[in-house]
Chains A and B, each alone.
Chain A
Amino acid sequence: MRELIGRDTIVEMVHDVTGEVLSTMLNLDAAQDAVYGEMQHGKSDGVVSFVGLAGPQCVGTGSLQCSSDVACRLAGRFLMSEYAFVDDEVLDAFGELTNMVIGNFKTALEGHLGAIGLSIPTVVHGKNFSTRSPGNEEWTVVPFSWGDDRLYVRVCLKAKDSAEAPPLHVRKPFTTEQIRHTFSELA
């Protein structure tokens, strides 16, 4: 992705769109913490959301993550209500926030990479679950904090050519030589 868009540009976009959503929709003045890269999410505890990005030049995934308590507080602000524990409304609110943050990130990306589509977000909630994406792409992690609360926005992008679903692989038939070799070993 470095040929298409630099990491600093991605971070700046994430910073701008997340700050805007948190401020405008939730009246939260969040500070961006130190950005870092990671190969995999690893173990999670709380609420994580994923939404896919797909365009002619690149594909990717955007993700939001936070603890259950923070998710309840975010939903409380978003829906102007109060949530003591994670329920369907909290998860729906988190999904909508994901749609906004990653959706606006997608729009910002389009200025560089052309039209990009956004898939339907999925939100996962639990204790001690793992998340993983195949391949060796690096995720850019942009944390935001306000008081003791933290929200992690993660983005993974890769050039489309390398990402396209492989054509259905047809298992090569064994050659005569391979069959002979196998039988000779069995004898």
Chain B
Amino acid sequence: MQQLISREEVIKKVHEVTGEVLSTMLGLEAKPEAVYTESQHGRADGVVSFAGFAGPQCVGTGSMQCDSKVACTLASQFLMSDYKSIDDEVLDAFGELTNMVIGNFKTSLEDQMGQMGLSIPTVVYGKNFSTRSPGNEEWLVIPFSWGDDKLFIRVCLKEKESDQAVHAGKKQEFVLQN
């Protein structure tokens, strides 16, 4: 992906769109924290969302993650109500916020990558579940904090293969060695 867009540009775009959404929609002044990379999400506890995007030059996934308490806080601010525990409304609000953050990130990418589409976000909630993506792509993790609360934005981008259609493939034939 470094030929198409640098890591610094990706971080800058995520900082801008996330800061804007948190500030404008939720009245939150969140501080971006040190960025790091990871190969896999690993174990998660709380709420995680995923939204895929695809364009002529690249494909990727954006993700948001936080603990249950923070998800309730975000939903409460977003819906101007008070949520003490995770329910369908909290998860829907988290999905909508994902749509905004990753959607605006996708829009900002389009200047360099051409028009892209954003898939329907999925939100996962539970205790002690794992998330994993096949392959060796690296995820960029951009944390934000306000007070004791933290929100993690994760982005994974890769160049679109020339023929992305993955055919069923033929079963390998074994050759017996003499």
Residues in chain A within 8 A of chain B (CB atoms): 17, 20-21, 24-25, 27, 40, 50-56, 59-61, 63, 88, 91-92, 95-96, 99-100, 103-104, 106-107, 116-135, 137, 156, 158, 160, 163-166, 168-171
Contacts and interface: CB of A to CB of B under 8 A. Distances in A.
A180 B169 CA distance: 69
Contact of B100 (A88, A100, A103, A165): A165
Contacts of A171: 24-25
Interface string B110-140: 0000011111111111111111111101000
Interface residues of B, number: 61
A65 B44 CA distance: 19
Contact of A126 (B61, B120, B129): B129
A21 B168 contact: yes
Q: Is the interface of B mostly helix, strand, loop or mixed?
A: mixed
Nearest to B137: A120
A119 to B, nearest CB: 2
Q: Which of B60, B124, B131 has the most CB of A within 10 A?
A: B124
A55 B124 CA distance: 24
Contact of B164 (A59, A118, A124, A160): A118
Nearest to B98: A134
B148 to A, nearest CB: 25
A86 B165 CA distance: 28
Interface in B80-122: 88, 91-92, 95-96, 99-100, 102-104, 106-107, 115-122
Contacts of A131: 122-125
Given A91-B130, A133-B120, A165-B107, A52 B53 contact: yes
A166 B52 CA distance: 16
11 contacts: A25-B169, A52-B51, A54-B116, A92-B132, A118-B54, A119-B59, A127-B129, A131-B123, A132-B125, A137-B120, A164-B118
Given A91-B132, A117-B117, A130 B122 contact: no
